[in-house]
Structure 1
Amino acid sequence: MTTYRAGRPWRSAAIGRIAAVALSLVLTGALAPAPAAGAVAPAPATTGAAGGAAACPTDPATPKHRLRAMWIASVANIDWPSRTGLSVQAQQAEFRAWLDLAAQRNMNAVVVQVRPTADAFWPSPHEPWSQWLTGTQGGDPGYDPLAFMVSEAHARDIEFHAWFNPYRVANHDDPTRLVATHPARRNPGWRFAHGGKLYYNPGIPAVRGFIEDAVMDAVTRYDIDGVHLDDYFYPYPVSGETIPDASAYAQYGAGFGNVHDWRRDNVNLLVKELGQRIHAAKSWVEFGVSPFGIWRNAATDPLGSQTSGMQSYDAVYADTRLWVKQGWVDYIAPQVYWHIGHPTADYETLTAWWASVVKGTGVRLLIGQAAYRAGAAGQDAAWQRPGELADHLQYNRRHPEVVGDVFFSAKDIRADRIGAVSRLVGDHYSRPALIPARGGAAAPASPSITSATRLPGGVSLSWQRDGSSSPLSYAIYRVDSSPAADPCFFADARNLLKTTRGTSFTDTTATAGTYTYYVTAMDRLHHESAPSAGRVVAATGPFSVVVDNRDAGFTAGSGWGTSSFSSQLHGTDYRFAEPVAASDPAWFKAQIPAAGSYRIEIWHPANSGYNSATPFIVAAGGGNQVINVDQRVSGGQWRSLGTFTLSAGAYNVVGVSRWVSTAGYVIADAVRITRV
């Protein structure tokens, strides 16, 4: 990936104050008594995939279909391996940790660099082992990293996109430092030096065929889900240097009026031919490119964007707009590495432009996000705002063409400087998401849940596929209590628990309450079946439910941040907000099985900087009751608000209000509701 310097600071919009607004609750009606444990509820009456019914209300904060990925860079040991010469066990442990991080952040794909410098992270017959594994180019690492990585990713139902740098040979310009068997040494006419680096010459047909063969070896031998090219095509411009390809142009450039059009055609041919070969070999493997974020500026080309930065069409000869319009790629993931309001390349301007380019083409749009900038020293003031990245995804909601994001890079997701990643996850990745489907294939048949058993550690589920189909993976949904089946349960991800490539799952988040489970099946292109019949697991003992701020029952506005600063938290993080003279509560929603008396307890971290009179709102049967809590003390434990009469139904039971005159953050972390 290429990094770029940002310009002027982000221009924050003025935040309006809302006048006094009365709090109100809309309560649902009472539910019928829960069926016996293991009872089967009828499947929702859908005619297609889960959530296929029209007019279902959805929450844009819990989208059902989204590709969420991070780049894992191997060149120069940026992300993995962390250094050369690690043992097999250490390398594998590091990679598993990256996958676990992706899963914790509700990501569903990784883009891993497997050919960083004309070398390989697998036993390639075309190119030497990568030096970034052992420290020595050609050195056998003692195992097959690509086979291992694909297997580990799929075990977590995380897609594995193999990332290839097409032309870069080395980050130095001395061919004698390449291993003696390197194709660039055996074929000196294939390469040139430029800007202190070595490159394969894109204008030589034999080079293009060789690069395609090297990539296709990985495609045909491994169960990868995607082939991903980055933004390095022809070398980026170097002051005072020209690309030394005059002889290749003289030999192969007939029919082109200038060297620039010829160079673009060379890259076009690689992209077109590689896409064709990939789909001919494995139709389900996605082919995508992550180019520099600007194609051309409107001042140069009326088809371009209202920007004034470097143009990839002219600088590196990447005609990315053409690739989209011709359908040579399945997705485009431009690196929109600028902040909102940047004077040269505004994030919103560029995202809107790319959305207009892909519209109607069938090519999917992912946005390359600059996680490396968030909170980093030397970046523009905009990147010191914890909410900058989250605001990017908020803006993406305006453009349905944007179906996901890819973050550079893994180490920056882990670093979570200034809490920017936690904020993003809290605002946009609070629930899992399915990979967006592509193509027009029919969805698989619905699976059947064969068992649903309550265990000390949760609820154990098993299911079986329909004998007429062979799904790749499954999605598990959970609905509180045992309401009548409703297609709207599946309209977004609020009830989505997990995806898996197995046929069993243990829901460790299940408490003593009554739940109804559903399972759907998905094929290689992520078409989702209609849901199975529901399987009810009845409550045990007195009703008790815990709602954490990460659960589907929690909602909060954009004024609420996300933090994991305090060790007294419940779960993985908690929400915080500044006091305001306006109604902006965070709500904990629960399914109350029957009218009666319930003890309500709260959990929050404590800190001297938190609020001394945080208002907790309880939607009691006789009307809202407000209890003020001093959150400076007694953190990291359950604190009782009292016993209240609650109505039956699924509704917002407990709220945390920001409307308080005392200073200090108000905190929303978790509530526990128990029948007494």
Structure 2
Amino acid sequence: MKKQLILIILLLTIPIISFAQSNNLKHEFRGAWVATVANIDWPSDFTLSTGQQTIELVQMFDSLQSAGINAVFFQIRTECDALYKSQYEPWSYWLTGKQGKAPEPYYDPLQLAISEAHSRNIELHAWFNPYRAVKKIGAYDPAPNHISVTHPEWLLTFKDYKMLDPGNPDAREFILNVMTDVLLNYDVDGIHFDDYFYPYGPKISNEDSLTFIKYNRGIKDIDEWRRDNINQLMREIYGVINTNKPFVKFGISPFGIVKNEYAGTNGFNSYDVLYCDPLTWLNEKIVDYILPQLYWEIDHELAPYKKLLPWWASLTKGRHLYIGHFSSRMADKKYKGDKAELGNQIKMNRTTENVQGSVFFSAKSIVKNWSGFADTLHTDYYKFTALPPKMDWKDTIPPLPPVDLKIDKNGNDVILDWRTPGPAADGNYPVNYIVYRFVYGEKINLNDASKIIHRTTAGESIFIENKEKLSTSEYIYLVTSIDRLGNESEGVITKFNN
């Protein structure tokens, strides 16, 4: 038997202390978009074998984890197709080079991505393009079960582009069924929509006039009807999520400018062209977060980040605000702007009230460490572990603390182990645990992420540390339980003499 060194074990209720302008943030959303359309991020080529695609995906998650990313938006539907086993849509061309062709040997990319993400304590959000059906007409042959073949009457056509008609109730129900299929059959942490609603260009004119006549729902103005078409789908999706898996997060990433008059910009008005209406989504609380794409520099002539950021931050209405950054442009070696632009934007986010984090487009800027961007995240901005921010409107009940915490010494190793507690008041168990270490006598502050030395993966209830890392003689170890939505238990502590 190992000699136990348990000196103190007790439960503490830990006060929360804010570090609003520190790199030691305990809760911050740190995301990356993984785009599969056109093989932007993954797979790098649709000709790769199953084994090669798997290796790429695993290496990609390794790189994102090393950089401090805690959430990934994994694109699973690019143009009414699927990078997962779908009941409704064909396998993606971007996966196998032929729409409708399953991977050989077979595997499920979404299931693999979920497994790889969760093994690294990274949230996996299923990213859907809700309306795009054919990115470029004639680029490749559609599968026999593609919506453009089975229900062409549900589509709107613009030059070489096709999309599902947002005003058609059958098309809307189809989108809802596609999303629900993923929600019910995969252990995703979130459902995510991007900015493609009505087309960027050419602007819609009379392509949906017959749909408006038939399905206007009593709305007289066609522009208002178009916005309501999108809003109605978002309401229905949020309702389905909350009915079936209320712990799953739902959010949208709109174009960064809604109307120029709102933030004093001089760019593209998405409200009048794309017909997206994020103010309604926030006012009606039919999203859990909003993620505007603020892809311009802080002092951009037409769309300055420094104007758009505070405007968006003023709208949150009790929902989270994450900011989309164009890292694939600003970290590119050809970028002519300030090389510190991305870092300065992260700093500005952290000093702006109601901003809970950043998401980078796209993952390759991190995975390939363009201009040292991943290194900068790892050694500076994301040096310490951060949990995604809590969503109090979803769940505030913490899990129970770990049970029977023990500390042993075995040669040069310090070993902590504990047992899983019972269910909390809401029936939920911990999904993992956080181990903190403090110098004995130091103030215990659980909001200082620099004190986190380990976050376990699911099912893990042991931590081993080499004594050679310890520089003083007495330490306090503290372990807490974490549930799926980031609620944290009271801490269990033990003292260790080196």
Map 1:488-637 → 2, pairs under 5 A: 488=445, 490-500=446-456, 501=458, 502-507=460-465, 511-513=469-471, 514=473, 515-536=475-496, 538-539=497-498
- C-alpha spacing 1:174/1:457, structure 2 compared with 1 (3 Å): farther
1:197 to 161, 183, 192: 161
Q: State the match for 2:247 in structure 1.
A: 284
Structure 1 residue 334 and structure 2 residue 298: aligned? no
**Residue 180 of structure 1, aligned match among 141, 144, 147:** 144
**Alpha carbons of structure 1 residues 456 and 182: separation in structure 2 relative to 1, 3 Å:** farther
- Measured after TM superposition, the shift of residue 416 of structure 1 is 2.8
* Aligned residue in 2 for 1:350: 308
- The structure richer in helix per residue is 2
Secondary structure of the corresponding residue to residue 268 of structure 2:
coil
Partner of 1:462: 417
In the aligned structure 1, how far is the partner of 2:363 from the partner of 2:235?
30
Deviations 1:439-497 (Å, cap 9, x if unpaired)? 242211111363434567854432222224411221121224x336x442x12201012
- Take 1:527 and 1:42, find their aligned partners in 2: how far apart are those partners? 22
Structure 2: segments with no counterpart, 5+ residues: none
Q: Which residue is 1:616 aligned to?
A: none
2:54 to 84, 87, 92: 92
Distance of aligned partners of 1:162 and 1:336 in 2 relative to their CA distance in 1, 3 Å threshold: same
- 1:7-48 alpha-carbon deviations (Å, 9 max, x no partner): xxxxxxxxxxxxxxxxxxxxxxxxxxxxx97334354742xx
Secondary structure at the aligned position of 2:327 is classed as coil
Q: Letter of the aligned partner of 2:307 in structure 1? A: T
- For residues 136 and 465 of structure 1, what CA distance do their matches in structure 2 show? 47
Deviations 1:506-536 (A, max 9, x none): 3469625444321111112211111112242
What TM-score do the two structures reach when normalised by structure 1? 0.68
The answer to whether structure 1 residue 245 and structure 2 residue 208 are counterparts is yes
Q: Is the 8 A contact 1:449 1:535 kept in 2?
A: no
**Structure 2 residue identity aligned to 1:483:** G
Structure 2 SS opposite 1:324: helix
Distance, in Å, in 1 between the alignment partners of 2:134 and 2:43 is 18
Matches within 5 A, 1:85-484: 85-141=47-103, 142-174=106-138, 177-238=141-202, 242=205, 244-298=207-261, 304-358=262-316, 361-376=317-332, 379=335, 381-382=336-337, 385-439=338-392, 440-448=395-403, 450-454=405-409, 459-469=414-424, 470-480=429-439, 482-483=440-441
Higher percent of residues as strand = 1
Structure 2: distance between partners of 1:311 and 1:509: 59
Check whether the contact 2:323–2:359 (CA below 8 A) recurs between aligned residues.
yes
Aligned CA distance change for structure 1 residues 532 and 172 (closer, same or farther; 3 Å): same
The 1-side partners of 2:385 and 2:358 are apart by 14
Q: Which residue of 2 aligns with 1:39?
A: 6
**Using a 3 Å threshold, how does the CA distance of structure 1 residues 456 and 400 change in structure 2: closer, same or farther?**
farther
Matched, 1:82 2:44: yes
For normalisation by structure 2, the TM-score amounts to 0.91
Displacement after TM superposition at 1:386 (Å):
2.7
Alpha-carbon distance in 1 for matches of 2:57, 2:45:
12
Contact 1:324 1:363 in 2 (8 A): yes
Change (3 A) 1:41 1:218: same
Shift of 1:305: 1.4
Task: Note the aligned Cα RMSD (angstroms).
Answer: 2.3
* DSSP-derived class of the 1:518 partner: strand
Deviation at 1:84, TM superposition (A): 0.7
CA shift in 2, pair 1:387/1:176, >3 Å: closer
C-alpha distance 355-245 of structure 1, shift in aligned 2 (>3 A): same
Per chain length, whose mean CA-contact separation is higher, i.e. which structure has more relative contact order (CA < 8 Å, sep 6+)?
2
- Kindly indicate whether the alpha-carbon contact (under 8 Å) linking 2:21 and 2:351 is maintained by their aligned counterparts in 1: no
- For 1:629-668, list aligned pairs within 5 A: none
The verdict on how the C-alpha distance between 1:45 and 1:476 changes in structure 2, with shifts beyond 3 A counting, is closer
Deviations 1:652-674 (A, max 9, x none): xxxxxxxxxxxxxxxxxxxxxxx
SS for the counterpart of 2:178 is: helix
Contact 1:107 1:432 in 2 (8 A): no
Distance (Å, rounded) in 1 between the aligned partners of 2:479 and 2:329? 39
Q: Which has the larger radius of gyration?
A: 1
Deviations for 1:164-207, whole angstroms, at most 9, x for unmatched residues? 00011122224982111212211110112214222111110010
Structure 2 CA distance, aligned partners of 1:507 and 1:516? 13
Structure 2 distance, partners of 1:535, 1:431, is 23
For 1:401 and 1:414, the matched residues in 2 are separated by: 29
Aligned to 1:650: none
Which SS does the other structure have where 1:224 is aligned?
Answer: coil
Query: Tell me, which stretches of 5 or more residues in structure 1 are unaligned?
Result: 1-35, 299-303, 540-676
1:73–1:80 Cα contact (<8 Å) kept: yes
> In percent, how many aligned pairs have the same letter?
36
Quote the Cα distance in structure 2 between the aligned partners of 1:309 and 1:59: 31
For residue 419 of structure 1, report the CA deviation from its aligned partner: 2.5
| Aligned partner letter, 2:430 | P
For the residues of structure 2 that align with 1:138 and 1:127, how far apart are their CA atoms?
8
Within 2, Cα distance between the matches of 1:275 and 1:259? 24
Question: What is the Cα deviation at residue 257 of structure 1?
Answer: 2.7
Structure 1 residues 419 and 143: CA distance shift in structure 2, 3 A: closer
What residue in structure 2 maps to residue 23 of structure 1?
none
Which residue identity does 1:390 align to in structure 2?
G
User: Does the 8 Å CA contact 1:173/1:194 hold for their aligned counterparts?
Assistant: no
